[in-house]
Amino acid sequence: MLSRLKSLSSNQFTVILALYYVCVFNIPFFQIVKQGVEKQADVNLVFIATIPLFLIFALSFIFSIFSFKYLAKPFFILLTLMSSSVFFAALQYGVVFDYGMIENTFETNSAEAMTYLNWASVLNFVATGVVPALLIYKANIEFKPLAKELLYKLALMATMLIGIGIIAIFYYQNYVSFGRNNDIIKRHIIPTYFIGSTAKYININYLQEPIKYKPLGLDAKNITNKQNDKPNLVVLVVGETAREMNYEYYGYGKPTNAHTKGQGLLTFKDTHSCGTATAVSLPCMFSRMDREDYQSRQAKAQDNAIDVLNHAGIGLDWLDNDSGCKGVCRNIDNILIEHDSDPDLCNGQYCYDQVLLNTLDDRLSTISSKDSLIVLHIIGSHGPTYYLRYPDEHRFFTPDCQRSDIQNCSDEELMNTYDNTILYTDYIVSQVVKKLQAKSEEFDTAMLYISDHGESLGESGMYLHGAPYAFAPEEQTKVPFLGWFSAGFAKQNKLDLSCLAKEAEQGDYSHDNLFDSLLGLMNVRTEVYQQDKDIFSNCRQ
């Protein structure tokens, strides 16, 4: 469009750009508006018709601030390319780029980012990002002398404000009411919301003065009082993107827990995550702070559960086949699996979780004779390339979805692929239990498995994860939580397993319980320990 015009004034350029953003990039926004309208019994069609006008006026006003010579082209080229990617994620997967998603994006490694690359995403980026960016680059924008340019710009901005004001005069109450009933719609406006979230993230993490570090649990002590001399050995498997509803243990109709059946695992029901993305959930679940008062910046400036266990002298290891521990394991021995470390299990971009079993074997062969906790952070069910999370010999549910543009797979294919990842994770957990059973002569052993967050698989048009928690569906917030305890561990640590089975059945748990439950399970006491949040405390004899 821009290339056909001989020349454009900066005001014309601004309005055309605003029209493009409203008509293309804000399609997901209007889909949310449509859903809100459908929920209303009485719809004022004229009010609905003013919404795109309001958005054009508002974006034209905002864009005018940046439509100056030497700034306009580089700024809007970059903004358009960024908006194109955000638009695709919002349109295809229902992703909202709030602060948590921006945090997750900044902490995503290159291998993980590549899983989102497919023909659909590339074509979208070219069509809605690269081509408009080239048109912006080639556009002949005529800027007047500075004083005159400012006057023309102020006139445009005033006109846009008048338009907004007229709409407000007639429909202010409609906007207030509609906004309150559909609060999520503002999160879908492109580019204002993702730019605001990005600015907030940069300000908090790079511009604000660092918070003074706060150590916790320096008084922590291991109060184990056992009749034998065998140390405790606990393996905590932290899952990735596993949702409760696809677990056979929670009533799912497919055999997704076939490998651990018969191993005597306890199933803790109705467990909720701390966030809907790894960058939030992982540090939150180990933090002393609960979900409702969790703040990433503060969490990074204080000790977590792993640190408190370290203060108590517990042996600690973190073995990672995902995107890193997000700072949780910063003060202990940790291994991030290299993606070329095993030619049979890795391809240079990712590894199957079986690689962690080999690493666990190495660690178990040299583990010290003291109470120890080993964390396995698996890649689990990370999407959208679910089919890359399990080897062919574990491809049980077919037909599956062998592509990353999962929105183009059938519901059956997509669910089968995801279920294969759950079944493969179940295999990994079963192998961990077997390895712990083999160590029963040397250690009293136990295993916990819990996922960091869930996943949407097309329900209500949503895919993947990362939705704002207040609006996130249960698919993204309800997670599996499993436990296995050897007879020796239960006896020597005075843990009544029949009592614990009843507690697990009652449910109502969350990531908020993990901090104190880990301390309790490892017999660590400190002033920061809260017994009422320790899920094992009621079943200690």
**Quick one: what percent of the chain has pLDDT higher than 70?**
99
Mean per-residue pLDDT, 190-213: 90
Question: Residues with Cβ < 8 Å from 10, sequence gap 6 or more?
Answer: 67, 68, 72, 141, 142, 143, 144, 149, 152, 153
Per 3-state DSSP, the chain is made up of helix, strand and coil in percentages (nearest 5) of 55, 10, 35
Question: Residues with Cβ < 8 Å from 151, sequence gap 6 or more?
Answer: none
Burial 502-537 (b: 16+ CB within 10 A, else e): ebbeeeebbbbbbbbbbbbbbbbbbebbeeebbbbe
Residue 227 has pLDDT above 90, yes or no: no
* H or E element in which residue 202 lies: helix 192-202
Identify whether the C-beta of residue 217 lies closer than 8 Å to the C-beta of residue 429. no
Closest CA to 351 of 434, 428, 463: 428
Q: Summarize pLDDT for 19-59 with one digit per residue, the tens.
A: 999 999 999 999 999 988 888 767 788 999 999 999 999 99
Residue 6 has pLDDT above 90, yes or no: no
**Residue 160: other Cβ atoms inside 10 A:** 22
Look at 179-193, 213-227, 401-415 and tell me which has the smallest mean pLDDT: 179-193
Residue 378 has pLDDT above 70, yes or no: yes
pTM: 0.86
Q: Summarize pLDDT for 326-337 with one digit per residue, the tens.
A: 999 999 999 999
Q: Summarize pLDDT for 508-534 with one digit per residue, the tens.
A: 999 999 999 999 999 999 999 999 999
Q: What is the separation, in whole angstroms, between the first and last Cα of the chain?
A: 76
Q: Summarize pLDDT for 271-308 with one digit per residue, the tens.
A: 999 999 999 999 999 999 999 999 999 999 999 999 99
| Measured CA distances, 3 to 15, 64, 134, 402 (Å) | 16, 20, 9, 40
Sorting pLDDT into bands at 50, 70 and 90, what band is 472?
very high
Mean per-residue pLDDT, 149-163: 96
**What domains are there in the chain, each with its CATH number?**
2-206 (no CATH), 231-539 (3.40.720.10)
Mean model confidence pLDDT for the chain: 93
Total H helices, total E strands in the chain: 19, 16
